[in-house]
Amino acid sequence: VEYVDPKAFYSCWALQRIEVDEANPNYCDIEGVLYNKDKTTIICVPTDHDTYRAEKYGHAKYDENGYRIEPATDDPNYEQYKKDVLTYVVPSSVTTIGQLAFNYANMADIYLPEGLTSIETLGLFEIPLLNGIYTYKGENVTDTHFTAREALGEVYLSLPEGLKYIGSDALSYNPSLEYIYIP
C-alpha cells in the first residue's frame, strides 16, 4: 500500500487496531495506531482503540450482552483507567496530526510533543470525552501509553509552542474540552 486516504477508516466504529506489515515502506503502526513510516505523521487512531487498550491493560469489563462497561468517574480505579485507556501520548517524532486522525476516538487527555507543527483539518474532531490537551518537552518519547508525567519531561496545558497550522474544524465537536491555549 502506497497511500491511505484520510477517510479510509472514517466511521469504522468497531475498529480497535490497525496492523501494518513491517516490510511496508510507507506505513507503520504503534500498538494498533497508523503512522507514516518515519513516524512524523499520525494517520489514524481507530475509533474503538480504547477497547483494545482496556483489554491490554486489564480494564475490560462486559455486561451480559457483551457491551464493554466503562467505570464511573467515582470508581476507585477510574484514575488508573483514565491513564491506561483514555490518555494518549503522541510520540515525540510526530510533527503532524493528520486529517481525521483522532475522529470519534474515546479519549480524555492527549499529550502532544513540542515539535508538533500541524494539526490538519478535522485532526482532533469529535472526541466526546476530550478534556485536556497537553504539550510535553521530552525527547525520544516512543511509548503512547501514559506512565508518568516525569517520563514526558516538562508538561504544560497548551497547544505546542511550535505549532504553525490548525486546519478547518481541527478541534470541532469536543463538548468536554473546557480550555485551550494557543501560543
Q: What digits encode the pLDDT tens for the residues 86-142?
A: 999 999 999 999 999 999 999 999 999 999 999 999 999 999 999 999 999 999 999
Cell of 109: 487527555
Instruction: Please state, in angstroms and rounded to a whole number, the distance separating the CA atoms of residues 137 and 16.
Output: 29
Q: Give yes or no for residue 178 having a pLDDT over 90.
A: yes
Cell of 5: 486516504
Distance of CA 26 to the CA centre of its chain: 20
- State mean pLDDT over 42-66: 95
Cβ-contact 130, 107 below 8 angstroms = yes
Give residue-wise pLDDT tens across range 55-92: 999 999 999 999 999 899 999 999 999 999 999 999 99
pLDDT at residue 148, as a whole number: 87
b/e burial code for range 106-122 (CB count within 10 A of at least 16 → b)? bbbbbbbbbbbebbbbb
Give residue-wise pLDDT tens across range 5-31: 999 999 999 999 999 999 999 999 999
Cβ-contact 130, 124 below 8 angstroms = yes
Cβ-contact 69, 78 below 8 angstroms = no
Give residue-wise pLDDT tens across range 133-177: 999 999 999 999 999 889 999 999 999 999 999 999 999 999 999
